[in-house]
Structure 1
Amino acid sequence: MTATVSVALVTYRRPEQLRTALQSVRNLDHPAPGYDWTTTIVVDNDPDQSAKAVCAEFADLPGFSYRVQDRPGIAAARNLVLDVCGTDFVGFFDDDEEVSPSWLRALTQRQAATGAAAVVGPVEYRYEQPPPAWVTATATWASESPAPDADAGWLTTNNALLQATIAQRLTDGRAAAFDDEFGFDGEDYQLGLRLQRDGFRIAFAPDAAATEWVPPHRTTRQAIIRRLLRDGNIMSRADLSLRRGPAKLLVRARHIVVGAARVGGGLFRGLFRLPRGGLAGAASGARTSLIGAGQMLGAVNVVVSSHRRRA
């Protein structure tokens, strides 16, 4: 039996980048045998419909559909994709990315080989302008890849194939698959934790490559600090969102302790090993400390987001 697949993007006021992303969709190879790409969906999270004109240029893509989600947030927009897709699987990537021609084929091949509920691929980050050396030293924009043939330990929908039927029923009493509590950051990571908790696999497809272009305003000191704080913040908040009763108190305490250890260890590495480790040692220490600080903030219900929407 053939499985149907949608390709989906969520966008917000980035029409030129969206055009580049959709052009890469136009260049996609067919998915693996046994999968049929039937639908292409763009959800515009801008009530002013800033993506509408660009989307009209790509109406020839398979089953193209342009939708508007007035409710702010990535979670709400991704949930709309799941509501309207009508397919067995959805391939997600972001509107500031490009995917390789083999992207969809590689994701579906890996899903066929593993039966995983989700498959993620690598994202290569490229800078629009060369950043300061300390930015690259923090590895803030470094790609994550598990060992060959290993499962991924995370779900990130900036490059993922998700089994829609599983996600749609994995609500746990929530209104939808992607939790609105994580409306702008971490909704995918939290869904991944729920998938793994319930015994579903998240596989990794090394050949399903995507490229994200990082603009200069995301390499400033303030932006890097917020992103690293956010990473730790999502870690603890997502974990706590799955807990109930006394277990939640214990997990909260664990994140505070582990976060504090990261802060202390990072400061030690960054300050006391600076003469020997140089910039790399200092940047690595700062990264660890900031992630730990974000983890502690999340443990006491303080939300840190890297998304600041323009009015």
Structure 2
Amino acid sequence: MHIVNICICTYMREQMLSDCLQSLVAVNVPDEVTVTVSVIDNDASGSSEGCVSRAAEALPFTVRYMQEAKRGIPCARNRAIEESIQHGADFIVFIDDDEIVTADWLVNLYNYNVQKGGRAVVHGKVSQRLPDNLPPSIQGLYKGGKRFSGEALSACATDNVLIPIHLVTELELRFDESNPLAGGTDTIFFTQATSKGVEIFQCNEALVYETIPKQRATLKWLAKRKYRAGITDAWRKSQRG
């Protein structure tokens, strides 16, 4: 039996987290796989603990809740890695707290990894659900490049990804905590992985839906996000000379 630990990092988004956890109730589990769920709360006050406790009553998996007081998403992700190693996971799966999984999401994500030999990273598809009555000018900014299933990637995000445990044990990869609030540390993590020979493949059949709140569907918020993405892209280009 392989152990797959689904990790969700969260910070003060209880309703979205509750919806995310609720969607896991109906998820199909691959053959010969044991699923566990780890929720890493990046709020030192533990604001999501009650939400996780309620969700755990309905989930058919072992659910672990933990706080990571050091602020920043790379700190929470590294805590998820350490928890996964401690509990003997063979694979780490990251999804975001604002996402809803589909029934066959995990089966498709895991089985594609098996097809690729068991040591490749597999990135699933994220389909965005935008607020109603959003102006077309804003809607267009959410249309990113389309990836096809089987496409080899030079990097990816942690928004829907399966990671074999060897990346963090044999290769000792971790998320960079030197600038924890800057963003882009997941792209850097996977760029470093591919530089060490790790393969990353896209699997569109492993589908999740991301809920975009109104406060993020603005030019101001998107401009900041694109600026951070540009910094990360510049770093990647400098690494390639």
Is the structural similarity TM-score above 0.5? yes
Structure (1 or 2) with the greater helix fraction: 1
More off after superposition, 10-19 vs 208-217: 208-217
Q: Is the 8 A contact 2:148 2:203 kept in 1?
A: no
Aligned to 2:39: 42
Structure 2: how far apart are the matches of 1:205 and 1:182?
31
Percent identity over the alignment is: 26
Equivalent residue for 2:219, pick from 204, 218, 221: 221
- Cα gap change, 1:22/1:167 in structure 2, threshold over 3 Å: closer, same or farther? same
1: CA distance, partners of 2:6 / 2:186: 16
Aligned to 1:111: 113
Could you tell me which amino acid in structure 2 is paired with residue 127 of structure 1?
L
Classify the secondary structure of the residue corresponding to 2:205.
Answer: coil
In 1, Cα distance between equivalents of 2:129 and 2:111:
26
Q: Deviations over 1:229-281 (max 9, x none)?
A: 122111122454x58xxxxxxx3xxxxxxxxxxxxxxxxxxxxxxxxxxxxxx
The one-character-per-residue Cα deviations of 1:181-239 (angstroms, maximum 9, x if unpaired) are: 35241111111111111111111111111111111111212112112112211112245
Alpha-carbon distance in 2 for matches of 1:56, 1:196? 37
Alignment map for 1:46-125 (pairs within 5 Å): 46-60=43-57, 61=59, 62-85=61-84, 86-115=88-117, 116-125=119-128
Please report how far the alpha carbon of residue 164 of structure 1 lies from its aligned counterpart in structure 2 after TM superposition. 2.3
Higher alpha-carbon Rg: 1
Unaligned runs of 5+ in 2: none
Supply the AA of the counterpart residue of 1:102: D
Could you tell me which runs of 5 or more consecutive residues in structure 1 were left unpaired when the two chains were aligned. 244-250, 252-311
* TM-score normalised by length of structure 2: 0.90
| CA distance in 1 between partners of 2:144 and 2:52 (Å) | 29
Question: Which residues of 2 match residues 1-311 of structure 1 at below 5 A?
Answer: 2-31=1-30, 33-37=31-35, 39-60=36-57, 61=59, 62-85=61-84, 86-115=88-117, 116-138=119-141, 141-171=142-172, 177-181=174-178, 183-184=180-181, 185-240=183-238, 251=241
Q: Which has the higher strand share?
A: 2
> Per-residue displacement from partner, 1:270-310 (whole Å, max 9, x unpaired)?
xxxxxxxxxxxxxxxxxxxxxxxxxxxxxxxxxxxxxxxxx
Give TM-score, length-normalised by structure 1.
Answer: 0.71
Structure 1 residues 157 and 197: CA distance shift in structure 2, 3 A: same
